[in-house]
Structure 1
Amino acid sequence: MDKLPHSVLLQILSRLNDSADVACCRVAWKAFDTVSPGIRSIHLQCSKEWYDMASSSQRIKPLKTVFLDLISKLETVESVCIVFVHWISRASDDFSLTDGDFAEWLPRVSGSLKSLSVSNYDTQSPSNVLVLISAYCCNLVSLKLDSAWLNVRNLNPMPTLTKYKAPREAGDSEFSLRKVFTVFPNVSSLCIQSEPWSELETYMNSYPEGWMILDGRKGLKTICAYLELADPSLTFSFLSCILDQCVGLSEVSLLMHIEDDIQRTIADSFWSKCVARWPGLKWRRGIRMSFMEDLWISDAISN
């Protein structure tokens, strides 16, 4: 192994899907440790097994310790992805990423960072993580902050960002697409989870005049929406407002919550109505069920 060129060793490490394996390789083989600073991405998944072992043994390092050690060693960081599983308690600081943690490493890598994804990241109080990201990451292209309670006030514009997941608003209910497109003016792909979608519907219902702000936006090409369909008519009105104004749209993906036959009937009717109303779009349909992964069940392309 020591005789292999450094470029080959670096390729081996770069092809590992989990950065925890990279950390193990660095410990097991000096040659890997030597070339590891050349890796440009971090992908860590905090599984239940990892959590249990780290909680019961001092020999297993917690996710946060591994992550901070990895990122401190890299010369250039272009992509960071951290995934927490749903059923891990994040009461322990060793398994959480707080504002202070982001402030510790984000400024150092912000100039090269192109993609940032933290899934099932949760907080018990409003987080300023998005504020920090907008302050430092001037070259970020893709951002995903899932299940986070985010403060969206005082954000700096992020013109390079083209892929964005709408957060849960902290502080008030006036979370609107105006804020999204003001801070991220060049977004081409937008994914909105069920909680922020519900907040957007509520805001639209209370302040209908506030929605005439998309101004025929041509840059938005794809939308993915997670729908509860508690009030199908309100959901359709909100969707209509977006689709009728964003004239550059080409694809819409809808994941609808279905647990029984009644919800399935409502979802089928809603789906048919959407496809018939906007015949020029490519449609993708998915199902969301409790404790299961999202399931894509059909595509519909209207002529």
Structure 2
Amino acid sequence: MEDLPASVIFEILSRVNDSADLARCRLVSKTLNALSYEVRSLNLLCSFDRYLKSRALETKTLITPFKTIFKNLLLKSRNIESISVGVEKPLQGISDDDVDDESDDLYLTEVNFVSEWLPEISGRLRSLSISDFWIQSCWRRSEVLSVISSYCHNLAKLEVKNAWLSVEGLKPMSKLTSLTLKFVRLDDEDLNKVNDCFLSLEVLNLIGVGGLREPRIHLLHLKMCQWTVSNAPLSLTIHAPTLTELKLNCVKPKSLVLETPLLFSLHLSIEKTSEWGMKQFLNLNSLRIESTDLYNLICLFPCCKTVEKLMVDSPKLSEQVEVRREVSFEALFHVFSNLSSLTLGPGAWLELETCFRMEGLKGKSGMKGLREMVAHLVVNKVQITQSFISRVLDQCTNLFEMTLLIHRDVDSAIANNLISCCMADFPRVRWRWGMWKEGTKDTWVCNGVDSAIQDV
């Protein structure tokens, strides 16, 4: 390998995903050793196996501390621009008997540990990711954000996972454009501080951030946001005038306010909300809604004539089911009158079919614009399902592609008969079909009107 040009060897070393392997390369030759210190990224993960060996009586004296390995790898490197350090399986797979509450050997957001290496390389650093060990970090409030903001003036991307964070001493970071906080504890005032100090954020991911009661995002340059709320807050507010993509997953906020006029793509997973503050979306094109209260949630939307692609589903309800109204095609097309593509999850299809069985299906002019549909079917009564499909296609006269995904537990003879009837009754439609089941990916079985019917 030493016969290769130095630039080629450097390129190979730069593609090594695990920096532990990079350290092993240093033992092979002087050339590899010298070039290994020129790489621009460091990625080191403490494996679960290493953690267990560090605890076992027969092996723990043989295991070099993970923090020591990390510092030795990092401080000898000269051009580091990206760092990713973490612990494998930080939240699971460990019994109570294996936990030493006083240990801090894998407490990676510890201020003293970070302060040992960050000042040396902070000037060049563009990306930093720390995935802590929850067992050791959840009961220790860390001011690591203050340390990072004090030294990393050129940082563009920051990711912190599995930690209890404090914003005490947090300083503005004008060049930070991407922030991910995953499984961390914050308070409302902490999130307010994030808004104030990270004014240039364009990408924000808040996944499983606990402790928030009335959180508010106020970021003028934000373009993409993913927010999964782990508790049940009283209210959620997003004020982001340049936001174009939003994925929001929450439970039952009393109020939800979206001040996002440029929103283009919205994925909303929410059980229900009492108050809905939302101005009319003038640019919303793609919308995905998952809710156990589809009808009332959809009725809260302002008329969205710009939405062309809609995906809806209603997850399984708990045993304590509230009396509610099923959503209908009329309700969908009343709000979203210019749909060209519609995807229906199994819960949504069941609601629509139930509503059809009780009330029938009245024609809507908006249905004529629908071009393609994907439906996840359960098929409790094949005659009703077939009649419903026929009625939908009678109304959607410009629909040219229909995909039926039938539950795997449906008898194959019933499924094949349904498909045969649909193809015979509507030869103008390009039919596709397949199978679905909870917890698995959809499986496509056949494609095209001339294809033989497959056993599904």
Q: TM-score, normalised by structure 2?
A: 0.50
The gaps in structure 1 that reach 5 residues or longer are: 205-210, 258-262, 286-294, 299-303
Letter in 2 for 1:152: V
Out of 168, 183, 188, which is 2:185 matched to? 168
Report whether the alignment pairs 1:157 with 2:172.
Answer: yes
Letter in 1 for 2:208: S
- Report how far residue 47 of structure 1 moved: 1.4
Q: Number of aligned residue pairs: give it.
A: 261
Aligned mates of 1:296, 1:248 — CA distance in 2 = 36
> Helix, strand or coil: the match of 1:80?
strand
> Helix, strand or coil: the match of 1:223?
strand
> Helix, strand or coil: the match of 2:141?
coil
- Report how far residue 230 of structure 1 moved: 4.1
- Report how far residue 53 of structure 1 moved: 3.7
Whose relative contact order is higher, 1 or 2, with alpha carbons under 8 Å and at least 6 apart?
1
Larger Rg computed on CA atoms: 2
Aligned mates of 2:154, 2:223 — CA distance in 1 = 21
Q: Residues 122-178 of structure 1, C-alpha deviation per residue, up to 9 Å, x if partnerless?
A: 423211211100100000001111121112022110010011134523xxx442543
Aligned mates of 2:189, 2:310 — CA distance in 1 = 26
Match of 1:95 in 2: 106
Contact 2:106/2:132, CA 8 A, preserved across alignment: no
Q: Residues 168-222 of structure 1, C-alpha deviation per residue, up to 9 Å, x if partnerless?
A: 23xxx442543112111101111112234x51xx145xxxxxx5x83xx541111
Report whether the alignment pairs 1:246 with 2:270.
Answer: no
Q: 1:199-218 alignment to 2 at 5 Å? A: 199=212, 202-203=213-214, 214=218, 217-218=219-220
Contact 1:189/1:222, CA 8 A, preserved across alignment: yes
Q: Residues 79-115 of structure 1, C-alpha deviation per residue, up to 9 Å, x if partnerless?
A: 0001212246575443332211110100000000000
The gaps in structure 2 that reach 5 residues or longer are: 252-268, 273-289, 313-438, 443-456
Contact 2:37/2:78, CA 8 A, preserved across alignment: yes
Aligned mates of 1:132, 1:296 — CA distance in 2 = 43
> Helix, strand or coil: the match of 1:23?
helix
Contact 1:23/1:66, CA 8 A, preserved across alignment: no
Aligned mates of 1:270, 1:25 — CA distance in 2 = 57
- Report how far residue 276 of structure 1 moved: 7.4
Letter in 2 for 1:99: V
Report whether the alignment pairs 1:142 with 2:166.
Answer: no
- Report how far residue 265 of structure 1 moved: 7.2
Of residues 85-94 and 26-35 in structure 1, the stretch that sits farther from structure 2 once superposed is 85-94
Letter in 1 for 2:204: L
Q: Which has the higher helix share?
A: 1
Match of 1:186 in 2: 200
| Percentage of matched positions with identical amino acids | 33
Q: Deviation above 6 Å: which 4+ runs of structure 1? A: 263-266, 280-285, 295-298
Aligned mates of 1:146, 1:161 — CA distance in 2 = 17
In structure 2, relative to structure 1, the CA distance for the partners of 1:71 and 1:16 (3 Å cut) is same
Q: Residues 222-260 of structure 1, C-alpha deviation per residue, up to 9 Å, x if partnerless?
A: 1111134747xx4xx41xx21xx3121111123568xxx
> Helix, strand or coil: the match of 2:155?
coil
Q: Which has the higher strand share?
A: 2
- Report how far residue 38 of structure 1 moved: 0.3
Match of 2:17 in 1: 17
Aligned mates of 2:244, 2:441 — CA distance in 1 = 19
